[in-house]
Structure 1
Amino acid sequence: MEVETKEKKIEKKEKSGLREWLESVLFAVTAATLIRWLFFSAFVIPTPSMENSLLVGDYLFVSRLHYGTTTPVTPLQVPLTHQTIWGTEIPSYLDWIKLPSYRLPGFSDVKKGDVVVFNLPVEHPDLYQKFSNVLPGLKPHPADLRTNYIKRCVATPGDTMRIINGQVLVNGKQQERPARLQDEYFISTGGPVNELNIFKKNGVVDYTQYTETFGDSIPLNDEPGYIIKATNAMAEKLKTYDFVKRVEPVLMPEHLKEPFLFPDSEIISWNKDQYGPIVIPRKGTTITLTHENAALYADAIISYEDNENFLLKDGVLLDHQKPLEKYTFKQDYYFMMGDNRHNSADSRYWGFVPKDHIVGKAVFVWMSIDPDPVSMLNKIRWDRLFRVIK
């Protein structure tokens, strides 16, 4: 005869369908959040600043392992969001708690030539209004939730960088140009051309018909033609057409000061094609402050290094209202530029990228959708799928 035990009398309650669903969702969100934070994230290219290397509509995987992921500064945040809750303007975070940021070990440091995703530094609460002319619509955000930008690193901590006639020189040596880097060219055509067949057929998507002089860069007056953004290979191909009289780069001349360029100083006359020399700050390096380099380094010293009592006044950096003669940097910095050199709001316009703003290295394109295809059959750029980013 079987004896009934107390345990057998207690019926195990089965999990409801709703509970199982909630547990599955919780597990999936937790796993996705950890993967996104520790290993890699997905991004989409929204602007043409990296063309022709990366195109608008490219979807990327960005490795956080290469440089080491950073711990959250703003822990009170809706999972799998960045600045706002999906499809709304409602902030997805609360800044009631702010934690110190630490970087976990990575595979390597940021190298010259790397395509890097980082948080835009000038969304700092003390800087976003200052740079609103360069980047309209800037809003202040915590350091780890600032807008993600993607550019190519052209100079690393301690480097001396200069741009001469559009060519980047680092420590006196010309840097290798990325294969798909775009410059601005003037094409003399003698009149209008079939833009769809000529330009788009050759990969040129940014072109403007031009009939007037272009300052000091184009010597002939009222010469009909086009201003285009193109790679060197594209420009050489266009030279082969019979109706093309000449193709030449459009460069701003030396000593022509460009408005809204970094740094905002009357004693510096640089432009996007003639820039520097400028020394990139390195952790532990001590500099003697002058009127010129105070303009270069004030934003970094005051806003990115947590120096609350520092102030730039009349070109002089003050510490507790006393002139600061020397300063030792607390972290490394980088100089970033877009591969579409004449259509990129980059470090030439808003300055250095602090190491604690680095997110990760762009690794490969996993999907590419053309926002303006010739036909729906060309909506997906099949030739760009799983392309390694160089």
Structure 2
Amino acid sequence: MKRFLLGMLMVVGVAALGLYVFNPSGTPSLDPRARIFGHIPYRLPATSMEPTLLAGDYIVSSTFAYIKQSPQHGDIITFRYPRDPKQVYIKRVIGLPGDMIEVRGHQVFRNDIALDEPYVQHTHEREPAGKWQVPDSMYFVLGDNRDNSADSRVWGFLPQGLVEGKAIYVWVSKQGNTGSINAGVPR
């Protein structure tokens, strides 16, 4: 019985190592949880995604979500911060490659069409204005708490290779609001 258990443990260990090394999900993360299990838990340290996600919430990000597809408009993603890849950020995808993004006042336009963003929180009168053409292999991301978010308006475009996964679930929240993350509506 001990030999059988030892053999099974070795098979599982070799399989896990193989998943980590060969990285079938293609995640840029070196985190074994991402490569082997396909999910990474995070604790949100900041208010940049309020009111959708709250500071202190514990979320789960699926690294397998983008194996066969790329992030889409409105997805809430976790990614390595371009200026310091040791840090993980979470933001909403606003622009895909080729999109023209423009911010005027509190309104965001994608390809000259105003976005309906009921999840956005504003505390100041105006957002920084600007216009950006999203290059190939890049994304334009914004926090839902637009007045309190360091995002693509500040540090530029997000390279596709830094995307870790899609935020899919809140498993612990100070407010008690747990469950699947609906990208379009605050919890």
Structure 2 residue aligned with 1:112, among 73, 89, 94?
Answer: 73
Pairing 1:66–2:65 present = yes
Pairing 1:280–2:131 present = no
Percent identity over the alignment is 30
State the AA in 1 paired with 2:106: G
Which residue pairs with 1:152 in the alignment? 92
1:162 shift after superposition: 0.5
Pairing 1:50–2:11 present = no
Contact 1:115/1:389 (CA < 8 Å) preserved in 2?
no
Task: State the aligned residue count.
Answer: 162
The CA deviation string for residues 210-251 of structure 1, in whole angstroms up to 9 with x for no partner, is xxxxxxxxxxxxxxxxxxxxxxxxxxxxxxxxxxxxxxxx12
Q: State the alpha-carbon separation in 2 of the partners of residues 365 and 152 from structure 1.
A: 16
Which residue pairs with 2:35 in the alignment? 37
Which residue pairs with 2:26 in the alignment? none
- TM-score after normalising by structure 2: 0.78
Q: Which runs of 5+ in 1 are unaligned?
A: 1-13, 68-105, 124-142, 186-249, 252-271, 283-331, 370-380
Select the structure of larger CA radius of gyration: 1
Contact 1:167/1:273 (CA < 8 Å) preserved in 2?
no
- TM-score after normalising by structure 1: 0.39
Task: Select the structure that is richer in strand.
Answer: 2
1:65 shift after superposition: 1.1
1:385 shift after superposition: 1.5
1:148 shift after superposition: 0.5
Contact 1:365/1:385 (CA < 8 Å) preserved in 2?
yes
1:35 shift after superposition: 4.6
Partner of 2:116, secondary structure, is: coil
Q: Which runs of 5+ in 2 are unaligned?
A: 21-30
The CA deviation string for residues 345-380 of structure 1, in whole angstroms up to 9 with x for no partner, is 1111100100110101001101113xxxxxxxxxxx
Partner of 2:77, secondary structure, is: strand
Q: State the alpha-carbon separation in 2 of the partners of residues 359 and 34 from structure 1.
A: 12
Pairing 1:344–2:137 present = no
1:388 shift after superposition: 2.4
Q: State the alpha-carbon separation in 1 of the partners of residues 162 and 32 from structure 2.
A: 19
Structure 2 residue aligned with 1:173, among 113, 117, 132?
Answer: 113
The CA deviation string for residues 323-356 of structure 1, in whole angstroms up to 9 with x for no partner, is xxxxxxxxx0001110000000111110010011
Contact 1:334/1:355 (CA < 8 Å) preserved in 2?
yes
Contact 1:41/1:62 (CA < 8 Å) preserved in 2?
yes
Q: State the alpha-carbon separation in 2 of the partners of residues 56 and 107 from structure 1.
A: 31
Pairing 1:363–2:156 present = no
Which residue pairs with 2:24 in the alignment? none
Partner of 2:123, secondary structure, is: strand
State the AA in 2 paired with 1:386: G
Higher RCO structure (Cα 8 Å, ≥6 apart): 2
Contact 1:362/1:389 (CA < 8 Å) preserved in 2?
no
Q: State the alpha-carbon separation in 1 of the partners of residues 49 and 69 from structure 2.
A: 23
Partner of 1:273, secondary structure, is: coil
The CA deviation string for residues 66-89 of structure 1, in whole angstroms up to 9 with x for no partner, is 11xxxxxxxxxxxxxxxxxxxxxx
